[in-house]
Amino acid sequence: MDCLLLFTAFLLLMLSCITIVWPIIWNMFFFCPSRYNSMEELRSDHLKITAILLCALASPLRKRKHEKNKKMTLEIAVKAAAGAPELLGDCPFCQRVLLTLEEKKVPYKSLLVNLSDKPQWFLDISPEGKVPVVKFDDKWVADSDVIVGMLEEKYPEPSLVTPPDFASVGSKIFISFINFLKSKDPSDETEKALVEQLKALDEHLKANQGPFIAGEKITAADLSLAPKLYHLETALGHFKKWSVPEDLTHVHNYMKTLFSRQSFENTKPAAKEYVIAGWAPKVNA
């Protein structure tokens, strides 16, 4: 069926661009001949109509391609929980991709990888030994940034594109969290730096009415930040008995909204203890 439509489109294009017989027939049968004063006028009108026709033909073709993509189950290699290789682990980059798949309702199959004993099949598809990796058209693709970009391109509906002005909101929170978590010197201002980043997010959410970074709709920036905030809350709560300051009410509501979403429920680490176990080596280093 796709081929037939393509063939028809091709035929129309050939007819419209190459022959001059076609415009003449067009004029004779579809339009009143007196409407055109010259052949040029007629041809220009005819080209416009043909372009509209081609767009109309291409649109169902594009839609069909996306629908076909939607039915295919994507394979994704993700981190397994430490000490429980049959459970989903604590990789925020993997969860970001899983969240994108869930929000776009793309069927997927997770392949759990024990990162402390990487199997050969995994090293074959991910030479750097990192998760997540996703199989697109028989090719394994690494890096959550690249994967999320490809998912947006292949599955444009619903769009999760973050407006460029908001794309970097909250982007320094993760590194500030790691610095504070690893810090052994209470006076080194890593806590202050983290609070400043969280405050900036709080002000952004307040100014833009939320509940999400770009307003009413969840976008890629939220799906990237959600797992990182979950790690922040879990690891700092455990290792430093620290929590997000009470007065940052917009951040608190934002976290609540994100963590209670079905997509988050379906993709979060199997238990908080795996998040804690994941950060323990960094804290104790």
Ligand X SMILES: N[C@@H](CCC(=O)N[C@@H](CS)C(=O)NCC(=O)O)C(=O)O
- Residues of this chain that bind ligand X (CB under 6 A): 79, 91, 93, 115, 129-132, 143-145
Record the tokens describing residue 35, joined without a space: 């409407």
- Provide, rounded to whole angstroms, the least separation between the CB of residue 86 and ligand X: 18
Distance of alpha carbon 239 from alpha carbon 247, whole angstroms: 22
**Helix 220-239 / helix 92-103 crossing angle, nearest 10 deg:** 140
The answer to whether 168 touches 161, Cβ cutoff 8 Å, is no
Of 154 and 199, the one with the shorter C-beta distance to ligand X is 154
- Provide, rounded to whole angstroms, the least separation between the CB of residue 237 and ligand X: 20
- Provide, rounded to whole angstroms, the least separation between the CB of residue 44 and ligand X: 51
Of 118 and 238, the one with the shorter C-beta distance to ligand X is 118
Of 6 and 146, the one with the shorter C-beta distance to ligand X is 146
Residue where the block lists tokens 């990789």 = 91
Q: Could you say which of 3, 32, 55, 91 is catalytic?
A: 91
Of 91 and 106, the one with the shorter C-beta distance to ligand X is 91
Distance of alpha carbon 152 from alpha carbon 148, whole angstroms: 6
Closest CA to 144 of 218, 93, 80, 74: 93
Q: Is 17 a catalytic residue?
A: no
- Provide, rounded to whole angstroms, the least separation between the CB of residue 226 and ligand X: 14
Active site residues: 91
